């Protein structure tokens, strides 16, 4: 059907509306605290949906259906519903966070996750962990911005062929618009635009699923029959091969560790929890978000299965990677207006994740690095202005990384792999901080450094599945950190005579 004038109107109305809405929150900021954690009076359900929207990037909306579609994937890497095993770990990990990490975060007025490490180990440990976060979040978010560019490229290529470097223009559009309202509105704009974007991308995805059922011969029964005949309805795999990412063991154990790192130590999501009114609200927000994410992944994996069944009945489009299959479908096959809404839904996910990343990167830079160096001598008004300009600087950096990320392969796998390499050392540091009283600053820094180096070597030289990365990195950090702590503690003790 192609992208029509109506579709462009829907998409442009969304982009203009969400940008203007986010800018309205500028007047609510009187201090840097307001800019990064808000007034802490937002209902926990809004925070919960903001958490879900933040972790649901374009990687999810494009990559997860592509994973289930599986045309270009080896059987062990996708093409079935085995990713649902990871979701079990996602839900279990949130209960651990609510019990283990959140009480520590709410013992004091913390603005970033890494302030907890300073309180326990000193400023040097805080700076090392914050540095790891800045590197990881910037690289991972660059991949997500590039994923969003695939969507706009598919739209423009179908209706205005011949434009050079479509993907580059797409990256600039997504990056600049999101930067505008995040620069102006701070965390309040991020949370409330997240809520709107959650509604839009879930609505758009449900519409796409409905249209797929209507277009596939014999409807839902035809989809189930085609998927069943191809073996795509498999959920569980009990293989013990550590190179396979989607097994029961990698999913439950690896998914639990990944969630503890991403939601318990990553400023991107911890910042959401710190905006809650109190500990109880933050616990309700994090646990409830797990079940909503489970529903989301069932929907997105289902769309991938539906796409497979649909293209068994009609000739599939010419694509070079699975990541292109969903954008090509809704650009070419959905009714006018609906196609624009689904495109807006994918932009909603991209902008939601990017806005949260910009704000968290800026908060870590200003609160964890600049403010301690300034020793409280900077007026709050100046610090607030610096926070906004730091947001702008990170926006430009992420756009540059997105351009480079074009050659990194599957957007879904690349994004999670980059994050998982760094999450292990970070999680190990936090576990040493909250689960033992014997760890020292020297031990934790040594643990994080050795673990990060080992994870890079493991990524470069082995075929270990990325779902195991956080567990391995955390274990290395714990072992080295605890061992060094015991050694240095004993060295300081006087010898007995």
> pLDDT value at position 376?
63
Q: What is the pLDDT of residues 63-109, one digit of tens each?
A: 788 888 875 444 444 578 988 999 999 999 999 999 988 988 888 76
The full length of the chain comes to 497
> pLDDT value at position 334?
77
pTM of the model: 0.82
Share of the chain above pLDDT 90, in %: 30
Residue that wins the pLDDT comparison between 169 and 99 = 99
pLDDT band with cut points at 50, 70 and 90 for residue 348: confident
Neighbours of 293 (CB within 10 A): 20
> pLDDT value at position 71?
58
Are the beta carbons of 85 and 258 closer than 8 angstroms?
Answer: no
Sequence-separated (6 or more) residues with CB below 8 Å from residue 402: 142, 143, 144, 145, 146, 149, 171, 175
Q: What is the pLDDT of residues 406-461, one digit of tens each?
A: 655 555 666 677 778 889 999 999 999 888 888 999 999 999 999 999 999 999 89
Residue ranges of the domains in the chain?
Answer: 5-408
pLDDT band with cut points at 50, 70 and 90 for residue 143: confident
Residue with tokens 């800019």: 35
Q: Report the C-alpha gap between 303 and 305 in whole angstroms.
A: 5
pLDDT band with cut points at 50, 70 and 90 for residue 283: very high
Contacts 24+ apart (CB under 8 A), 393-396: 394/138, 394/357, 394/358, 394/361, 394/362, 394/365, 395/175, 395/176, 395/178, 395/179, 395/182, 395/183, 395/358
5-408 carries CATH number 1.50.10.10:
no
Q: Report the C-alpha gap between 382 and 387 in whole angstroms.
A: 9
> pLDDT value at position 328?
79
């Amino acid at each position: 059907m192609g992208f029509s004038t109506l579709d462009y109107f829907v998409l442009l109305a969304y982009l203009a509306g969400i940008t203007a809405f986010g800018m309205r929150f500028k007047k609510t900021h009187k201090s840097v605290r307001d800019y990064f954690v808000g007034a802490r009076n937002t209902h926990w359900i809004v925070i919960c949906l903001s958490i879900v929207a933040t972790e649901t990037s374009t990687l999810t909306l494009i990559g997860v259906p592509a994973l289930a579609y599986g045309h270009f994937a080896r059987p062990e890497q996708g093409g079935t519903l085995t990713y649902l095993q990871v979701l079990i770990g996602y839900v279990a990990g949130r209960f651990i966070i609510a019990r283990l990490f959140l009480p520590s975060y709410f013992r004091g007025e913390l603005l970033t996750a890494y302030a907890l490490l300073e309180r326990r180990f000193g400023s040097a440990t805080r700076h090392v962990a914050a540095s790891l976060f800045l590197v990881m979040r910037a690289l991972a978010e660059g991949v997500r911005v590039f994923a969003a560019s695939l969507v706009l490229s598919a739209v423009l290529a179908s209706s205005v062929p011949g434009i050079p470097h479509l993907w580059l223009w797409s990256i600039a559009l997504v990056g600049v618009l999101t930067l505008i309202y995040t620069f102006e509105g701070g965390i309040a704009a991020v949370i409330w635009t997240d809520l709107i974007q959650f509604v839009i991308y879930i609505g758009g995805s449900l519409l796409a699923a409905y249209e797929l059922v209507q277009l596939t011969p014999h409807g839902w029964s035809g989809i189930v029959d085609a998927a069943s005949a191809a073996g795509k309805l498999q959920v569980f795999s009990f293989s013990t091969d550590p190179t396979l990412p989607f097994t029961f063991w990698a999913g439950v154990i690896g998914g639990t560790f990944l969630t503890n790192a991403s939601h318990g130590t990553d400023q991107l999501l911890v910042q959401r929890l710190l905006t809650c009114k109190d500990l109880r609200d933050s616990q309700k927000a994090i646990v409830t978000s797990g079940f909503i994410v489970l529903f989301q992944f069932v929907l997105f994996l289902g769309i991938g299965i539906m796409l497979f069944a649909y293209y068994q009945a009609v000739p599939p489009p010419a694509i070079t990677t699975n990541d292109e299959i969903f954008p090509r479908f809704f650009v070419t096959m959905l009714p006018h207006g609906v196609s624009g809404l689904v495109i807006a839904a994918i932009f909603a996910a991209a902008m939601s994740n990017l806005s949260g990343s910009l704000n968290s990167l800026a908060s870590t830079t200003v609160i964890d690095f600049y403010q301690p160096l300034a020793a409280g001598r900077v007026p709050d008004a100046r610090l607030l202005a610096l926070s906004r300009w730091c947001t702008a600087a990170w926006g430009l950096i992420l756009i540059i990384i997105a351009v480079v990320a074009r050659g990194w392969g599957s957007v879904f796998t690349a994004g999670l792999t980059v994050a998982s390499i760094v999450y292990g050392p970070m999680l190990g540091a936090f576990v040493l901080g909250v689960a033992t009283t014997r760890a020292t600053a020297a031990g934790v820094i040594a643990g994080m450094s050795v673990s990060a180096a080992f994870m890079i070597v493991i990524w470069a030289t082995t075929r270990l599945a990325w779902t195991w990365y956080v567990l391995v990195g955390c274990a290395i950090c714990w072992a080295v950190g605890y061992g060094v702590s015991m050694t240095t503690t004993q060295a300081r003790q006087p010898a007995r005579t």
